[in-house]
């Protein structure tokens, strides 16, 4: 189905200049050029896309000749990045699903696809995509929207529907199950019946997904500003059970200690208000309720030593690491935030210098934010302690002989690097 220019709401006004330049130049050189994926979906929904992906029939080498400011990236499937100042436009050649038999033969995701037969037609490119609403094309040549998969209907009905046979598509790539929940939550859509039923049936397959990809999806989920509904979908479909029990426990507000059932809701509000949260912080937020509850449980029996307290945080991070592959930076950051958080709930040291030393920790600001997040998520008190720490931090002199130029780091109002 094709919607001509007057029949749809995609306006070039909301497409970035850089993406438009790429589209026009490809078109002028005689290639097919389309905007695809999330950008078309979000434009049709009246939103502002995060980024603009382009597909074309031009091959990477041909694109390199067309755009001086470009480079070819990727080994498995080569893409072209066209650079405009600090904006990168990703351009891919139409491709189709690699033959699944060959994929299995190799026994890994490392299928090396170099030959021309991986390139496809626009239609094949649409059918290899995950959900119908993610497979709409905006054709720059005549400004039409092209729908090969029924995505326009599903957008109208606000429905996430897998392209093709759900069970097969999940077996090919189990991460799609998590993505279904993420998009349904983010867009406020329903998940189509078979798409959802198949997640319930295939949910254990999720452990076959590459941990490095899973962690990217987890971070997307946590930071998308609609984590609560997304995690609820993942919980309903059974995905959380074995993959992210930490999130399930939060939603159910359980653990014998304090409940933090509103944690995702508060996190979403912060993100919607524009808070810039680091990935380490997001991971720490996911783990914090179980860390706090475990500590409270253990402390009911006896006082804990410092190494024991540290172990609670490192155990929580390690448990997550057994399912997700966190980079060292994210892992260390999450650990440090959780460790400092625990200092903050202990009695404030009498000696000024000892209290300042806690404020000087690089993870202090984020630990304080996490304290606030937990406070807002539960009905627990702690307002005075939080205030007291803020005052101490305000009064603390700059750290003497600080490494790396005494740069303060963390804190939720600080901009973070763009997530890749
Ligand atoms: P976002 O707004 O989060 O960027 P998006 O739809 O653009 O949403 P991306 O993860 O950027 O999502 O992926 C771009 C497009 O690539 C998707 O819209 C989809 O068409 C396709 N895609 C991404 N991941 C998969 C996958 N696992 N299987 C099939 N197609 C996928
Ligand atoms: Mg995208």
* Structure-model confidence comparison of residues 108 and 20, the more confident one: 20
Residue 109 has pLDDT above 80, yes or no: no
Report pLDDT for 382.
Answer: 84
For the segment(s) 159-237, the CATH number from 1.25.40, 1.10.510, 3.30.1490, 1.10.110 is: 1.10.110
**Which atom in ligand 1 lies closest to the alpha carbon of residue 129?**
30
Most confident of 29-43, 117-131, 299-313: 29-43
Chain mean position to CA 8: 29
Report pLDDT for 263.
Answer: 95
Nearest ligand to the C-alpha of residue 38?
1
Of the listed ranges 52-56, 58-62, 110-114, 327-331, the least confidently predicted one is: 110-114
Report pLDDT for 135.
Answer: 97
Q: Return d(Cα 67, Cα 113) in angstroms, integer.
A: 24
- Indicate whether residue 174 lines ligand 1 (CB < 6 A): no
Q: Which helix (H) or strand (E) holds 73?
A: strand 70-73
Phi, then psi, of 191 in degrees rounded to 5: -105, 130
For helices 279-301 and 306-321, give the axis angle rounded to 10 degrees: 130
Mean pLDDT of 199-209: 94
Residue in 37, 55, 123, 221 to alter for ligand 1 test, most ligand atoms within 8 A of Cβ: 37
221-230 pLDDT, tens digit each? 999 999 999 9
Q: Return d(Cα 56, Cα 411) in angstroms, integer.
A: 42
Q: Considering the chain, what is the average pLDDT of its residues?
A: 88
Q: Are 148 and 135 in contact (CB under 8 A)?
A: yes
Domain ranges of the chain: 1-157, 159-237, 263-405
Structure tokens at 340: 């400092």
Say what the pTM is: 0.87
44-83 pLDDT, tens digit each? 999 989 899 999 999 999 999 999 999 999 877 889 999 9
- Give the confidence band of 97 by pLDDT, cuts at 50, 70, 90: confident
Distance in Å, CA 265 to ligand 2 centroid? 24
Same fold, 1-157 and 159-237: no
Local structure of 87: helix, strand or coil: strand
Listed residue (147, 207, 137) closest to 171, CA to CA: 207
Q: Which helix (H) or strand (E) holds 231?
A: helix 227-236
List the residue whose alpha carbon is closest to atom 10 of ligand 1.
38
Residue 139 has pLDDT above 90, yes or no: yes
Mean pLDDT of 191-215: 95
Range 1-157: architecture per CATH: 2-Layer Sandwich (3.30)
Mean pLDDT of 300-314: 93
Distance in Å, CA 130 to ligand 1 centroid? 7
Instruction: Please indicate whether residue 53 is annotated as part of the active site.
Output: yes
Residue in 43, 130, 164 to alter for ligand 1 test, most ligand atoms within 8 A of Cβ: 130
- Give the confidence band of 110 by pLDDT, cuts at 50, 70, 90: very low
The DSSP bridge pattern shows strands 79-84 and 137-139 to be unpaired
Share of the chain above pLDDT 70, in %: 89
């Amino acid at each position: 189905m094709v919607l001509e220019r007057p029949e749809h709401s995609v306006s070039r006004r909301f497409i970035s200049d850089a993406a438009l330049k790429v589209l026009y130049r490809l078109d002028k050189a005689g290639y097919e050029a389309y905007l695809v994926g999330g950008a078309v979906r979000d434009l049709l929904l009246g939103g502002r896309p995060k980024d603009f992906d382009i597909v074309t029939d031009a091959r990477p080498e041909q694109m390199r000749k067309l755009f001086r400011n470009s480079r070819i990236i990727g080994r498995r499937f080569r893409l072209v990045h066209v650079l405009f100042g600090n904006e990168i436009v990703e351009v891919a050649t139409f491709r189709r699903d690699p033959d699944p038999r060959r994929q299995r033969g190799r026994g890994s995701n490392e299928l090396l696809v170099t030959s021309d037969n991986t390139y496809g037609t626009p239609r094949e490119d649409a059918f290899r995509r995950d959900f119908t609403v993610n497979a709409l094309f905006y054709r720059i040549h005549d400004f039409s929207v092209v729908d090969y998969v029924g995505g326009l209907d599903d957008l109208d009905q606000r429905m996430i529907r897998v392209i093709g046979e759900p069970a097969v598509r999940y077996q090919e790539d189990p991460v799609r199950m998590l993505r279904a929940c993420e998009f349904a939550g983010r867009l406020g859509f329903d998940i189509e019946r078979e798409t959802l039923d198949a997640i319930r049936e295939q949910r254990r397959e999720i452990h076959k997904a590459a941990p490095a990809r899973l962690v990217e999806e987890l971070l997307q989920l946590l930071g998308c500003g609609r984590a609560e509904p997304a995690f609820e979908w993942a919980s309903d479909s059974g995905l959380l059970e074995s993959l992210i029990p930490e999130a399930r426990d939060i939603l159910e507000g359980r653990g014998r200690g304090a409940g933090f059932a509103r944690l995702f809701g508060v996190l979403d509000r912060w993100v919607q208000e524009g808070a810039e949260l680091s990935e380490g912080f997001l991971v720490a937020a996911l783990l914090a309720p179980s860390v706090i509850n475990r500590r409270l449980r253990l402390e009911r029996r006896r006082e804990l030593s410092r190494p024991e307290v540290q172990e609670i945080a490192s155990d929580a991070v390690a448990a997550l690491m057994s399912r997700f592959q966190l980079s060292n930076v994210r892992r260390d950051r999450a650990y440090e935030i959780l460790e400092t958080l625990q200092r903050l709930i202990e009695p404030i040291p009498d000696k000024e210098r000892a209290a300042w030393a806690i404020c000087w920790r690089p993870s202090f600001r984020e630990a304080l934010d996490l304290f606030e997040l937990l406070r807002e998520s539960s009905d627990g008190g702690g307002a005075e302690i939080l205030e007291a720490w803020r005052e101490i931090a305000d009064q603390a002199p700059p750290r003497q002989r600080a490494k790396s130029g005494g740069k303060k780091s963390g804190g939720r109002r600080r901009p973070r690097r763009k997530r890749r």
